[in-house]
Chain A
Amino acid sequence: MSNIILEMKGITKTFPGVRALDNVNFKIKEGEIHALCGENGAGKSTLMKVLSGVHPFGTYEGDIIYNGNNCEFKNVNDSEKRGIVIVHQEFALIPELSIAENIFLGNEQVKRGFINWNGTISKSRELLEKVGLDIDPNTLIKDIGVGHQQLVEIAKAFSKQVKLLILDEPTAALNEDDSENLLKLLLQFKKQGITTILISHKLNEVFQVSDSITVLRDGKTIRTYSVKEEKVTENMIIKDMVGRDITNLYPVRNKSIKEEVVFEIRNWNVFHPQDTERQILRNVNIKLYRGEIVGIAGLMGAGRTELAMSIFGKTYGRKISGKIYKDGKEVEFHTVKDAIKNGVAYVSEDRKEYGLILIDNIKNNISLANLQKISNNSILNKNLEFTETENIKNRLKIKAPSILQTTVNLSGGNQQKVVLGKWIFTEPDILILDEPTRGIDVGAKFEIYKIINELAEQGKSIIIISSELPELIGMSDRIYTLCEGVITGEHKKEDVDQEILMTYMTNRSGGSKK
Chain B
Amino acid sequence: MNTLKKIISNNVRQFGMVIALVVIAILFQFLTGGVLLTPLNITNIIMQNSYIILLAFGMLIVIITGEIDLSVGSVVAFVGAISGILLVNQDLPVIVGIFLSLLIGAAIGAFNGFWVAYVRIPAFIVTLASMLIFRGLTLVALNGQTIAPFPDSFRSLSTAFIPDIFNGGDLHILTILVGALLTIVYIIFEYRNRQNDKKYNVDTSSNSLFIAKLVIAAVIINTFTFVLAQYEGIAIVLVLIFFIYLIYASMMNKTVLGRHIYAVGGNENAARLSGINSNKVKFWVFVNMGVLSALAGLIFAGRLNAATPQAGTGFELDAIAAAVIGGASMTGGVGTVFGAVIGALVMGILNNGMSIMGIGIDWQQAIKGLVLLAAVTFDILYKKKK
Q: Which residues does A use to contact B, with CB under 8 Å?
A: 312-313, 315, 335-337, 339-340, 346, 348, 353-360, 364, 367-369, 371-372, 375, 378-380, 382-384, 386-387, 422
Contact, CB under 8 Å: A375 / B273? no
Give the contacting residue for B274; candidates A369, A380, A382; CB below 8 A: A369
Residues in chain B near residue A372, CB distance under 8 A: 256
Are the C-beta atoms of B197 and A369 separated by less than 8 Å?
A: no
With A355-B270, A368-B271, A383-B197 in contact, do A335 and B259 touch (Cβ < 8 Å)? no
Pairwise interchain contact B254-A380, C-beta atoms closer than 8 A: yes
- In the complex, the answer to whether A371 meets B256 with C-beta atoms within 8 Å is yes
Residues of B within 8 A of A353 (CB): 267, 269-270
Q: How far is the CB of B200 from chain A (nearest CB, A)?
A: 4
Smallest Cβ-Cβ distance to B267: which chain A residue: A357
Task: From the candidates A313, A339, A340, A383, name the one contacting B196 in the complex (CB within 8 A).
Answer: A383
Across chains A and B, which 9 residue pairs bring their CB atoms closest together, nearest first?
A: A357-B266, A383-B200, A369-B274, A336-B275, A337-B275, A357-B267, A371-B256, A378-B256, A340-B275
A353 to B267, CA, bound (A): 7
Is B272 close to A, CB under 8 A?
Answer: yes
Dominant secondary structure at the B interface:
helix
CB within 8 Å for A380 and B256 given contacts A359-B333, A360-B262, A387-B201: yes
- Contact across chains for A380 and B255 when beta carbons are under 8 A apart: yes
Evaluate contact between A357 and B272: CB separation under 8 angstroms. Answer: no
Q: How far is the CA of A386 from the CA of B204 in the complex (A)?
A: 13
Q: Contacts A359-B266, A386-B200 hold; do A346 and B333 have CB atoms under 8 A apart?
A: no
- Structural contact, A358 and B267, CB atoms closer than 8 A: yes
A337 to B333, Cβ gap below 8 A?
no
Q: Does B227 contact A (CB under 8 A)?
A: no
Decide yes or no whether B320 CB sits under 8 A from chain A. Answer: no
CB distance from A49 to the nearest CB of B (A): 18
Bound form: Cα–Cα A360–B270 in Å: 12
Q: Which of B197, B263, B277, B334 contacts A335 (CB 8 A)?
A: B277
The answer to whether A384 and B200 touch (CB under 8 A), given A337-B277, A372-B256, is: yes
B384 within 8 A of A: no
State in angstroms the CA–CA spacing of A379 and B273 once bound together. Answer: 22
A335 near B275 with CB under 8 A, answer yes
Cβ of B200: which chain A residues have Cβ within 8 Å of it? 383-384, 386-387
Q: Which of A346, A364, A383 is in CB contact (< 8 Å) with B273?
A: A346
A383 B202 Cβ-Cβ under 8 A: yes
29 contacts between A and B (CB under 8 A): A335-B277, A336-B272, A336-B274, A336-B275, A340-B275, A353-B269, A354-B269, A354-B270, A354-B273, A355-B273, A356-B267, A357-B270, A358-B266, A359-B266, A359-B267, A360-B266, A364-B263, A368-B263, A371-B256, A371-B260, A375-B255, A378-B255, A379-B256, A380-B255, A380-B259, A383-B197, A383-B199, A383-B202, A384-B200
Cα-based distance from A359 to B332 in the complex (angstroms): 10
